[in-house]
Amino acid sequence: MRILTATDIRRAVSMSEAIAAVKTAFAELSGGEAMVPLRIALQTRPHGGTALYMPAYLATSQSLGVKAVSVYPRNQERGLPTIFAAVLLQDPTTGQPIALLEGTYLTALRTGAATGAATDLLARTDASSLALFGTGGQAPTQLEGVCAVRPIQTVSVFSRDAGHASSFIERMRSLPFAQKIEFRVALTPREALGTADVIVTATTARAPLFAASEVAPGAHINAIGSFTPDMQELPAELIAQATVVVDSREACLAEAGDLLIPIRQGLIAPTHIYAELGELVTGRKAGRTSDSQVTLFKSVGNAIQDLAVGRAALERAEREKMGQVVELG
């Protein structure tokens, strides 16, 4: 079995390669070529955390495995990442474990890649400004995913702590893909949104971050933070107005508070979901149809993303002898 660290995965898979991998995986999911049971969520209530277990099988690309991930918002107070994860890949013909991948960076990479894929398929082609809500572990790859598919020139960053936004910007300025970007700290959500072409929400919010009226016509939104029925980043009115695309209908209708709350309020029905991302990848559904249309990609995360990007990392690692190989049994 090959063990890959976060450093190994960074070397093995670029953001563009990760975007291509998740597009293929989402096409398999929407085409009925994947088995993805709803993930098991365990609440560790005394510690304010959630542990998630996510198995998946991709028939066409022959990928099998399971991801274990924990989300502990209080970890920021401990100086630790909010998310820890590991991904086990197995040989689909025998079930034998073939790789163990560090999952915290892999989670960030595949989530950023999903945002990149959705932005590529839904944002206006001339989109050049980004509003980013949240500066935690997911934020860097969210920024990178958007920048990989659109010519982003300005980025407004909002955090409840303006100091976190400033520190995040300083870290991002040193990255190759961000060298020509003009960054700004936004002191209010309205200031962040401005006339933003692309919006990313990557928070653990339980109430809407901004009002629907503050979103400019023609904006594309990637909402990736809320992943339980009682979490909410976006106002229900905005959901009702937007063209909604999801990573998985089944998963989002079971877990996404951003959709379940307006459904419970009677503002939308489950049929308000226009498409799964995989349907856009395969061309079964069209993406954006007008420059004034507000589009929304809602993701709760899916193990197919981890398998697809993990498999790409493993194949590169095997070719270039990356990581550590250990004998089992």
Q: Give the separation between CA 81 and CA 69, rounded to whole angstroms.
A: 12
Six token digits for residue 39: 């993930």
Q: What is the 3-state secondary structure (H, E, C) of 216-236?
A: CCCCEEEECCCCCCCCCCCCH
Residue among 239, 229, 247 nearest 301 (CA): 247
Q: List b or e across 153-168, with b for residues whose CB sees 16 or more CB atoms inside 10 angstroms.
A: ebbbbbbeeeebbeeb
Q: Give the separation between CA 54 and CA 39, rounded to whole angstroms.
A: 5
Backbone angles phi, psi at 56, to 5 degrees: -160, 155
Q: Give the separation between CA 239 and CA 144, rounded to whole angstroms.
A: 25
User: How are the residues of the chain apportioned to helix, strand and coil, as percentages rounded to the nearest 5?
Assistant: 40, 25, 35
Active site residue 285: no
List the catalytic residue out of 23, 67, 285, 321.
Answer: 67
The residues carrying an active-site annotation are 67
